Structure 1
Amino acid sequence: MKGNETEQTDFLLIDRSGISRLMHLEVALHCAELALRKTSNGVAKQDVRRTLALPGAAGSCLSLMYADLEDQPLFGAKVLSVFPENFAHGHGSHRGVVVLFEKKHGRPVGLIDGGELTGWRTAAASAVATRALSRPDSACMTLMGYGEQARRHIATISTVRPIRKLHIWGRDLDRAEAFAAEQRAAGFEAVAFANPAEAVTAADIICTVTSSQTPVLAGAWLPEGVHVNAVGASVPSCRELDTDCVTRSGVWVDYMPMALTSAGELVDAISTGQIGPSDLRGEIGAVLEGDIAGRCDDREITLYRSLGVPAQDIELANFLYAAARREGFGTDVEFSL
């Protein structure tokens, strides 16, 4: 420190309940769109996800993502453990924290529940991509999976498209039935399916939100004009889509450097020569910025391959930190570093 300059030592903790009190869907969608735009227009400085493989099910890892946004006061990193089998035991699959730093002296100023933040930003990004790529009259959505992200995707996407019908598929039919009943109580026409091919036959939108190591969606099943959000697989060893899904679709991604290294079905299709990197349409943020085209016509199959990018976490974390300070939420602790 120079002269008489002193630093504050307060450090703000924002837990799951604090996020729930501060967040709502409009904010999540707004922050997701801003982050995707900044990913493509250069405002975000970030890198690909770094992972350390851990024992256990495929995809188990320690994950590190970091970013700085030129127009936000705080930069930071998200550190998560990813345990895909946690859902079967009643726990979240993504658990960890986002740590924030101020830009004047690099002082850490906040710690935010990373699992809850990830839940909000992942579904919101899918909704933003769906608004950009799906047919405006899309009314029937298939969920392949029935966990937390399935629930969040219904909540977010139904705000941008007139969703009335839900088709639910999962490996446990009883759990799929229970999830469908929950959605019927919320006002949707929801049906559970034992056969995944039948679940997608009439779909306008398909969201794959599983922790599967092997494909759950086949390209041969895709109806004309459908939009697909592929969300669940975040490491190259796991994939929810077969190669036909890739070759039959126009493909957009959230962050091209990460898609080319971590999206298993894209990596496989490129390595085997079935597509080339230039066959990928580009980043969804570039569509939002008007730099590249989105859907060509009502018959085209569109695919948004989501991996989640650091800019999404840090954009939303900046909002949460500022809102918590403004509204007096969170817990202040002394943390002198």
Structure 2
Amino acid sequence: MNGEPEFLLIDKSAIREILTLSLVLETTEAALRKTSTGMARQQIRRTLELAGAAGSCLSLMYAVLDDRPLFGAKVLSVFPENFAHGLSSHRGGVFLFEKENGRPVALIDGGELTAWRTAAASAVATRALSRSESSTLTVLGYGEQARRHVAAIADVRPIRAINVWGRDFEKAQRFAEELSVSFEVKAHREARDAVREADIICTTTSSEKPVLYGDWLPPGAHVNAVGASVASCRELDLECVRKAQIWVDYLPMALAAAGELLEAIKSGLIGADHIRGEVGEVLAGAKPGRSGDGQITLFRSLGVPAQDIELANLVYTSALHAGLGTSIDFRL
């Protein structure tokens, strides 16, 4: 019909053939800049809570980028307990449309894109906000995002030593053993001990209650908090919020879904202006980032629709050129 090309299904294996960490870091940085400069038009994540563990939900995110040919939406089911059963916690897809006539052009594995871009956003923020000589990384959690964060952070900082903590010490030990091929790694029974000498801390859990406390934070540390994506879950206590210079990926999202920030503002512990701004503003040179080696910086990540759509544009174009993905007749 009308000579329109067919619809492309792009699965996890095709995405892994296309993407490299350096490419994802570049794309993620571009999306964060566009978020803060107005080149990305988007709204906050829409969620429908589901029965089950805290954080279980249906999630919808959508965006259009002024300089990209495709716009779209990501729809995911989020089931935090899936990891314990050997399943991905984020499952769904990114649905892409072309701008000229609104034709649907692709469905891309959304869980795989989310896994790439979440860790990449933390790495981009780490490069912008942490001390350049940071060499000791602490990871709270041992799931897929913990693994991705180790690789991404080690790409932007000279990481030599890694400390690991998780609620199941045996699983934390196994994770540490995996990492020990490339790093000096130690698993800890207590999260506080894992944090004690950290330059960079990544929280990658699905915890309802804090796993990181402000009293533990060493001077000069940088924190990436990524695990809590709905307001009912929080990985940080209020002292973390009070002590840190806070940067977010997308301010409207943070003020709607970052539970510990909302609680701190509601209680009067901080004002909304305690949040320094979006990390894209630092990347664009509109605001300064870290201003002293002793300061504690925090990147509160909730995910930005622009990141998904920026990355999906790249994956779709690359798949077309490389002959990857499965073409189907889906001419709506």
- TM superposition score category, shorter chain reference: over 0.9
Residues 7/258 of structure 1: CA separation in 2 closer, same or farther (3 Å cut): farther
Distance in 1, matches of 2:38 and 2:260, equals 27
| Secondary structure, aligned partner of 1:298 | coil
Deviation at 1:248, TM superposition (A): 0.4
What is aligned with 1:191? 186
Report the TM-score when normalising by structure 1.
0.98
Q: Aligned equivalents of 2:193 and 2:155: distance in 1?
A: 26
The amino acid that maps onto 1:236 is A
User: Could you tell me which of 322, 330, 336 is aligned with 2:331?
Assistant: 336
Paired residue secondary structure (2:155): coil
Match of 2:227 among 224, 232, 241: 232
**Which residue, 272, 277, 280 being the options, matches 1:282?**
277
Q: Which residue of 2 is the match for residue 168 of structure 1?
A: 164
| Residue 100 of structure 2 is aligned to residue 104 of structure 1 | yes
Deviations 1:172-220 (A, max 9, x none): 00000000000002x1001000011010000000000001111000000
Instruction: Give the CA deviation at 1:171.
Output: 0.5
Q: CA deviation at 1:9?
A: 4.6
* Equivalent AA in structure 1 for residue 241 of structure 2: V
Q: Could you say which residue in structure 1 is the equivalent of 2:52?
A: 56
Aligned to 2:6: 10
Is there any run of 5+ residues in structure 1 with no aligned partner, and where?
Answer: none
Of 242, 253, 257, 2:252 maps to 257
* 2:136 aligned residue: 140
Q: Which residue of 1 aligns with 2:85?
A: 89
Partner SS state of residue 101, structure 1: strand
- Distance, in Å, in 1 between the alignment partners of 2:22 and 2:328 is 30
Partner Cα distance (1:330, 1:256) in 2: 35
1:247 offset after TM fit, Å?
0.1
Shift of 1:20: 0.5
1-side partners of 2:29 and 2:12: how far apart? 22
The letter of the residue matching 1:14 is I
Partner Cα separation in structure 2 for residue 323 and residue 155 of structure 1:
23
Q: Distance in 2 between matches of 1:80 and 1:9?
A: 26
How many Å separate the matches in 2 of 1:203 and 1:163?
11
Displacement of 1:6 in angstroms is 1.8
Which SS does the other structure have where 1:100 is aligned?
A: strand
Counterpart of 1:62 in structure 2: which amino acid? Answer: L
Q: 2 CA distance for matches of 1:319 and 1:297? A: 36
Cα offset for 1:8? Answer: 0.9
**Superposition CA RMSD, Å:** 0.8
Which residue number in structure 2 is paired with residue 41 of structure 1?
37
**Secondary structure of 1:142's aligned partner:** strand
Kept in 2, the 8 Å contact 1:170–1:176? The answer is: yes
Among all aligned residue pairs of Structure 1 and Structure 2, give the percentage whose two residues are the same amino acid.
63
Structure 2 runs not aligned, ≥5 long: none
Contact 1:9 1:335 in 2 (8 A): no
1:298 paired residue number: 293
Aligned residues: 332
The CA deviation at 1:279 is: 1.2
| Alpha-carbon distance in 2 for matches of 1:47, 1:91 | 29
- Structure 1 residue identity aligned to 2:79: F
Per the alignment, residue 246 of structure 1 pairs with 241
SS state at 2:94 partner: strand
Partner of 2:159: helix, strand, or coil? Answer: coil
- The match for 1:323 among 312, 315, 318 is 318
The one of 125, 145, 149 equivalent to 2:121 is 125
Runs of 4+ in structure 1 deviating by more than 4 angstroms, as ranges, are: none
**What secondary structure sits across from 1:79 in the alignment?**
strand
How far apart in 1 are the matches of 2:123 and 2:237? 23
